[in-house]
Amino acid sequence: MTTENRQKHKGGRKQKADPCIHRYSINLNDEDNARFLSLFEASGMKVKAHFITVCLFEKQVKVVKIDKGTSDFYMRLTNFYGQFRAIGVNYNQVTKAIKNNFSEKKALIFLGQLEKATLGLVEINKQVMDLTHEFEEKWLQK
Q: How does pLDDT run across 41-83, given as a tens digit for each residue?
A: 888 889 998 888 888 887 776 666 777 888 888 888 888 888 8
Do 78 and 115 reside in the same domain of the chain?
yes
CB 42 within 8 A of CB 63: yes
Mapped onto helix, strand or coil, the DSSP state of residue 60 is coil
Residue-wise pLDDT for 25-47, tens only, equals 889 999 999 998 988 888 888 99
Residue 129 maps to a domain: yes
Do 45 and 87 reside in the same domain of the chain?
no
Do 58 and 31 reside in the same domain of the chain?
yes
Residue 85 has a CB neighbour count (10 Å cut-off) of 10
